[in-house]
Structure 1
Amino acid sequence: MMMTIQYGLLIALAIALLYAAFTDIRSRTISNGLNIAIAAGAPVFWWASGLAFWPDIIIQFGVAIAAFAVFAGLFAVGMMGGGDVKLLTVLALWIEPSGFLQLLIVMSIAGGILTLLMAMVHLMRRRKDKLAIPYGVAIAIGAFSILGPRLIEMPPLA
């Protein structure tokens, strides 16, 4: 039963990440409502995963607070969007610290590639406006580097 709930929550998170990426491509925004929904699912995921309050859940909160502090600083200097900061913060509630570090590394690589591709298209079209990168795509790719193997490893529900 717990495994079914955990699996369902991971699928819901995957769908939410796809939605975040597509809305970021379309409008360069990631909604607060989506981030709230992802955050609200984290305690249910902790319960289904059997996490202990101490130290597991406290560590998840600590990583989320640290992520928010770092990425809010990047937002303050104009290097990151607010929706991206919130999405990374709520993902830190779902993913253990070592996995979150992997997410950040994969996200950085994907974001760099995405930025280069978009800059080339921007230049080829001779656009003069500011280049806006839908970084939610890179965040989703980083998250899928963690979630994908978990979803594949899950035992059959029957």
Structure 2
Amino acid sequence: MENAPITFGLMALLAILMIVAAISDLRSRSISNGLNATIALLAIPFWIAGGMAVWPDMAVQFGAAFAVFLVFAGLFAIGAMGGGDVKMIGGVMLWIPLNLFLETLTVMAIGGGILSAAMLIHSKIRPSDKVIEVPYGVAIAASGLWALHQQYLNHFQSIA
């Protein structure tokens, strides 16, 4: 891959942005629109550096990520997720190879379940009148990091 330094640099930047989003979600239970927009927009140079064709590759990648975004926007509409989390999922999924979509969403769901259980246990140990808000950005970031590792940094893929 002739653009490998650019591709890996963009992946490193994505990793940093996801970690920043997770920390922000932990601290304030919010993820800024600017951070989510940056994650989403940087997918375009990542696609170009990776050699994706505009049609059909980029279009299919965008369509699949948008479909995931719409599903989670439905969860937002019923109050099951925060808006920043939904935008982060849409942005991160722009980077995830199609063959890892389901696995990434599964890792995200497991991470979210673990976070929810931890928040429930914490609320039982230290009761509060505050509504429990799960920092789902942590699960999104963890699943995004996992997927990038699986696709681009796992040199043992051929063994499995």
CA distance in 1, matches of 2:96, 2:153: 16
1:5-31 C-alpha deviation (Å, 9 max, x unpaired): 000000000000000000000000011
Aligned equivalent of 2:21: 20
Alignment of 1:43-122 (within 5 A): 43-122=44-123
2:62 & 2:7 partners in 1: Cα distance? 19
Q: Do 2:97 and 2:151's aligned partners in 1 also have CA atoms closer than 8 Å?
A: no
Letter matched to residue 50 of structure 1: G
Cα drift, residue 149 of structure 1: 3.5
Note the alpha carbon deviations across 1:54-95, whole angstroms, 9 max, x for none: 221011111122112111100000001101110111112111
- In 1, the alpha carbon distance for the partners of 2:37 and 2:130 equals 32
Number of corresponding residues: 154
Matched, 1:135 2:136: yes
Please give the alpha-carbon distance, in whole angstroms, between the structure 2 residues aligned to 1:70 and 1:34: 21
Match of 1:124 in 2: 125
Residue 34 of structure 1 is matched in structure 2 by 35
Kept in 2, the 8 Å contact 1:10–1:151? The answer is no
TM-score when normalising by structure 2? 0.91
Identical columns (%) = 47
Distance in 2 between the 1:39 and 1:145 partners? 18
CA RMSD in angstroms, aligned pairs only = 1.4
* Contact 1:107–1:139 (CA under 8 A) maintained in structure 2: yes
Shift of 1:153: 4.6
**Could you say if the C-alpha distance between residues 153 and 108 of structure 1 is closer, same or farther in structure 2, counting changes exceeding 3 Å?**
closer
Compare the two structures and name the one with the higher helix fraction: 1
Quick check: 1:24–1:136 contact (8 Å CA) kept in 2?
yes
